[in-house]
Structure 1
Amino acid sequence: MRALLTSSGVRNDSVRAALVDLLGKPIAECHALFVVSGIYPFPGGAGAAWRAVHGDGMHSLGWKSVGLLELTALPHIDEEAWLPAVREADALLVWGGDPLFLARFLRQSAVTEHLRPEAVYVGVSAGAIAATSTFVETYVEPPPASDGALKSEPAVFATPDGDVDRLLVTGRGAGLVDFAIIPHFENPRHPDASAVNAEKWAAHIPAPTYALDDESAVVVRDGDVRVVSEGQWRLYDVTAAD
């Protein structure tokens, strides 16, 4: 199992070097599949998907080839139409969005089970969250029951404009790793993930939790886990007290 779990993609030389090391060869020699399925539940999701594909996304790293893989379509089409591309991929690039929705279709499609052992799962924001076994995410409104939330509980988070009410929703991920991710750590655009709020968030996750800023990533290779960073990150581990 190889994975690069990021807050905001490959934004610096350290994270890029970690990706190349996981791939075992230059990016220019690798075939990638790009997943933007997780962004569609958001207002403006269609436009965000377009921007991810045409400028904001992971496709621009210089891959030999890039294909789009739509997870929500896979349960409805013959495997012969998409399985060869997955088995030939060197990297599965999973963009952000709603982690509950994304995790649901990662599980339903079982796409990660068809990746070669040396292929790399590259998660961005929700794409990193959804790779975990159990995660917690903040929502303003209750998510659809079909997305499989395990538990919802109210919480109050501090923001520069005052306290805000949120739902902390526990979800079941794809189960690729046994720790959790909080992306966008200390990013002013994501006040739920400030240092104060991330600690509160992590306290509800029954697994070690990495809070990553947009210059950091967790690297996983065959059970070995390490962090590469040109920014800041923090590890919360509620299990350490057991």
Structure 2
Amino acid sequence: MKLLLTSAGISNPSIYQALVDMLGKPIAEASALFVPTAIYGIPNGGDIVRRVICGSLGDPFCDMGWKSLGILELTALPSMKREIWAPMLLETDALLVGGGDCQYLTYWMQQSGLANLLPTLLRKTVYVGLSAGSMIMTRYGTTYGNHTLPAETDKSLGLFDFAIHPHLDHELFPRNSLANLEMRAATIPVPSYLIDDQTAIKINDGAVEVVSEGNWKLVTP
């Protein structure tokens, strides 16, 4: 399985090169699908999706010069036959999973059937997460609570036995100081990576590597 779990996208040359290495080809020769679903779980989600796709918000993600870029909206998939959307998914080089609400994204990953496909899909396709899109692959997820999902809905898929706390010391997230994230990590019974927006976690066939031009810290329980 190949995953690049970022805080904010492809924010610097080191993370960019890690992505290229995992793809095994230049971005201009690679196809990508963008999953915007988690963004709809936060206020003004529709406009944020537009801005992420066109590159007017945040670091490069969708707007990187991909050979092709498609949209995979998970909430639509339960109403469609799998043979309509699964082949497109299985043929893509990179699955770009945007940030937003972890619980909302996890629910639709499960309801759509994509969660069950991931172990097969990620033998070839590189999973590129952004914020919540990264967190749901681990043992830890958060929620904005702006939805009517069942109370028992999972907040993550738990594929990896560690946690990611993104946006360390970000000016837009005053509660994400190092001290606050360390306290939050202390309540979780698995190791936690506290990462800023210049940092990503690279996972290649089980090997975990931190790729960073910024600040990060590993907190063990």
TM-score (norm 2): 0.91
**1:131 counterpart letter in structure 2:** M
Paired residues for 1:180-195 under 5 Å: 180-195=163-178
RMSD: 1.8
Which residue, out of 129, 142, 155, partners 1:123? 129
Asked whether the equivalents of residues 2 and 205 of structure 2 are also in contact (C-alpha less than 8 Å), the reply is yes
Aligned to 1:164: none
**2:152 counterpart letter in structure 1:** G
Query: Is 1:68 aligned to residue 68 of structure 2?
Result: no
Aligned to 1:85: 88
**1:202 counterpart letter in structure 2:** A
Query: Is 1:148 aligned to residue 131 of structure 2?
Result: no
Aligned to 1:176: 159
Query: Is 1:5 aligned to residue 10 of structure 2?
Result: no
**1:148 counterpart letter in structure 2:** E
After superposition, give the CA deviation of every residue in 1:3-58 in whole Å (9 maximum; x if it has no partner).
00010000100000000111111111111100111011222111111111122351
After superposition, give the CA deviation of every residue in 1:88-109 in whole Å (9 maximum; x if it has no partner).
0111000010011111111222
After superposition, give the CA deviation of every residue in 1:139-189 in whole Å (9 maximum; x if it has no partner).
5x686452635xxxxxxxxxxxxxxxxxxxxx4422332211101011121
**1:83 counterpart letter in structure 2:** A
- The whole-number CA distance in structure 2 between the counterparts of 1:74 and 1:148 is 22
Deviating more after overlay: 224-233 vs 196-205: 196-205
Asked whether the equivalents of residues 3 and 128 of structure 2 are also in contact (C-alpha less than 8 Å), the reply is yes
Q: Which has the higher contact order (CA 8 A, sep 6+)?
A: 2
Cα distance change on mapping 1:108 and 1:222 into 2, 3 Å = same
- The whole-number CA distance in structure 1 between the counterparts of 2:38 and 2:123 is 24
**2:76 counterpart letter in structure 1:** A
Aligned to 1:135: 140
- The whole-number CA distance in structure 2 between the counterparts of 1:200 and 1:12 is 28
- The whole-number CA distance in structure 1 between the counterparts of 2:165 and 2:6 is 10
Identity of matched residues, % = 46
Asked whether the equivalents of residues 33 and 69 of structure 2 are also in contact (C-alpha less than 8 Å), the reply is yes
Aligned to 1:212: 195
Cα distance change on mapping 1:86 and 1:72 into 2, 3 Å = same
Deviating more after overlay: 174-183 vs 61-70: 174-183
Unpaired segments ≥5 residues, structure 1? 150-170
Which residue, out of 83, 94, 99, partners 1:96? 99
After superposition, give the CA deviation of every residue in 1:70-117 in whole Å (9 maximum; x if it has no partner).
011111210111011110011100001001111111122232245151
Q: What is the CA-CA distance between 1:60 and the residue it aligns to? A: 1.1
The answer to which structure has the higher strand fraction is 1
Runs of 4+ in 1 over 3 A off after TM superposition: 141-145
- The whole-number CA distance in structure 2 between the counterparts of 1:113 and 1:75 is 20
Cα distance change on mapping 1:4 and 1:92 into 2, 3 Å = same
Cα distance change on mapping 1:76 and 1:138 into 2, 3 Å = closer
Structure number with bigger Rg: 1
Asked whether the equivalents of residues 101 and 147 of structure 1 are also in contact (C-alpha less than 8 Å), the reply is no
**2:123 counterpart letter in structure 1:** P
Aligned to 2:204: 221
